[in-house]
Homo-oligomer: A and B are copies of this chain.
Amino acid sequence: MGSVFGNKVKISIFGESHGTAIGVVIDGLPSGERIDIDEVYAQMARRAPGGDKTATPRKEADIPQILSGMIDGVITGAPLAAVIYNTNTRSQDYGNVMTSPRPGHSDYAAYVRYSAKNDVRGGGHFSGRLTANMVFAGAVIRQILKRRGIDIAAHIYSVGSVNDEPFDPLGIPTELIERLNHEKFALADPARESAMREEVEAVRIKGDSIGGVVECIIQGMPAGIGEPMFGGAENIISAAVFGVPAVKGIEFGSGFAGSQLTGSKNNDEFYYDGDTVRTYTNNHGGILGGITSGMPIIFRAAVKPTPSISIQQRTIDLQSGENTTISVKGRHDPCIVPRAVPVIESAAAIAVINML
């Protein structure tokens, strides 16, 4: 149930991190669309750990096998299914998690939900690894959207207290979109990278972790897309983005900062740019009354610090009913924000194609 999203284009995600395979079925893609599969792999590589000092050295082989829905690189219109077989894990790293829930993880909540049958190895169905599926789907969808003039690009807005240069809400250049779409550590201002990596290294050596914010822009959306009230663009995008693990907040346009502004400062005034209707400012983040205005959609997602830290933490023993402590072993990301960038772009893509 929760692992299915969408009405026009239905995305079904399955898999457990340490199970046989993970995969995704996408039902409703328009037939005839040509897909560059190498570009899809490139997007998945952005998400994969390894090759980036902030990420987990555990190598994931993320080559998806396409089972249906694509012939000679062209989408047939029938459901597109892709699976990724699990190959490289060390299950002994997850020894005692089935009895002692790890703080900040889904362990306890899932234990109650699934009456102790949840496959917790590696987080099971709640594992960050499942996001590989989202990126596959998002990567395919983004090629279709791009052909219709819609671009999606995200960057690391902040890690801890170190900020990147924010996006210009009036729009960012195509070259920046292209560069960001192919980077593993996506920054508008690459000069900020070392400061950010230091922020991460500082916690990594302590066995701790740090969070951050991802900012995402969607350019080229036509005006008039979305429904009032419950079917609005914010409703659909947030419903998709909260499907990305570790996301705990989302804001559109001026968001929380805008709540402290006056109307005269927050309102975006209209003007004609030739025949095109634009606004001088974009505090509305491209969405008015749930419907797109034609200005770029811009949102920020708060990513909590990775719960997996090797520092000892207090927890409970579900079998004995006693309080206890736990130390989460294994190889963990001290900061998943860089890897969350393509995942959040994918969630946005999944939302957008369901709105068009």
A: residues with CB less than 8 A from B are 1-5, 7-16, 19-23, 25, 27-28, 31-32, 65-69, 71, 74-81, 83, 101, 103-119, 124-126, 130, 158, 160-161, 203, 208-213, 222-232, 234-236, 238-240, 242-243, 245, 247-256, 258-272, 275, 277, 279-280, 283-285, 287-294, 300, 302-309, 311, 313-316, 321-323
Contacts and interface: CB of A to CB of B under 8 A. Distances in A.
Given A83-B67, A101-B270, A117-B32, A109 B280 contact: no
Given A230-B2, A231-B3, A266 B31 contact: no
Contacts of A261: 210-211, 304-305
A226 B106 CA distance: 11
B28 A12 contact: no
Given A250-B249, A258-B211, A270 B103 contact: yes
Given A68-B15, A230-B3, A304-B254, A272 B321 contact: yes
B118 A224 contact: no
A289 B4 contact: no
A256 B302 contact: yes
A305 B213 CA distance: 24
B223 A108 contact: yes
Given A23-B68, A76-B114, 5 more contacts: A3-B229, A107-B288, A158-B259, A210-B261, A230-B239
A118 B74 CA distance: 10
Nearest to A157: B259
Contacts of A239: 230, 235-236, 238-239
B76 A117 contact: yes
Given A110-B289, A264-B208, A291-B109, A2 B227 contact: yes
Instruction: Give 6 nearest A-B pairs by CB, closest first.
Output: A2-B227, A2-B231, A106-B289, A249-B251, A112-B224, A78-B125
18 contacts: A2-B231, A4-B4, A16-B78, A20-B66, A20-B67, A22-B67, A71-B119, A75-B117, A108-B288, A114-B224, A210-B261, A210-B262, A211-B258, A211-B259, A213-B256, A263-B305, A271-B314, A271-B315
Contacts of A224: 109, 111-114
Max chain B CB contacts within 10 Å: which of A3, A222, A270? A270
Q: What number of copies of this chain does the assembly contain?
A: 4
Contacts of A75: 117
Contacts of A23: 25, 67-68, 81
Contact of A125 (B1, B76, B223, B304): B76
A263 B7 contact: no
Contacts of A116: 32
Contacts of A126: 228, 289
Contacts of A307: 263, 267
A251 B248 contact: yes
A266 B242 CA distance: 18
Given A8-B1, A21-B68, A268-B104, A203 B302 contact: no
A339 to B, nearest CB: 15
Given A1-B27, A25-B12, A271-B314, A266 B304 contact: yes
A259 B12 contact: no
